[in-house]
């Protein structure tokens, strides 16, 4: 479930972030914290995607999750080294 939702929320066919879908993902995580592992894993892959549009949409989803889902997401983001992936991308762009 996590991978499919993240792929839809970060699809390169989107013009802008799908805030409704991002909200649904956050609601799903808040109702069942077990989902966060798969969602963060999928999100990390999308942040490392070659398409910058996908990367931006993934960062928008990550922002929503950080704001709306609380500590459970914070812990998984730190544990899965998502921030290191973001730094790696930033260094490539410089």
Buried b (16+ CB within 10 A) or exposed e, 58-88: bbbbbebbeeebeebbeebbeebebeebbee
pLDDT at residue number 94: 55
The single residue listed with the structure tokens 């993902």 is 25
- pLDDT tens track for 2-39: 899 999 999 999 999 999 999 999 999 999 999 998 99
Domains along the chain with CATH numbers: 2-93 (1.25.40.90)
Whole-model pTM: value is: 0.86
């Amino acid at each position: 479930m996590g991978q499919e939702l993240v792929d839809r929320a970060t699809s390169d066919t989107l013009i802008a972030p799908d805030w409704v879908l991002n909200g649904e993902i956050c609601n799903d995580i808040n109702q069942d914290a077990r989902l966060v592992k798969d969602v963060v894993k999928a999100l990390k892959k999308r942040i490392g995607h070659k398409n910058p549009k996908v990367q931006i949409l993934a960062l928008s989803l990550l922002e929503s999750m950080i704001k709306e889902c609380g500590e459970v997401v914070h812990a998984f983001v730190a544990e899965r080294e998502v921030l290191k992936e973001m730094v790696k991308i930033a260094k490539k762009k410089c």
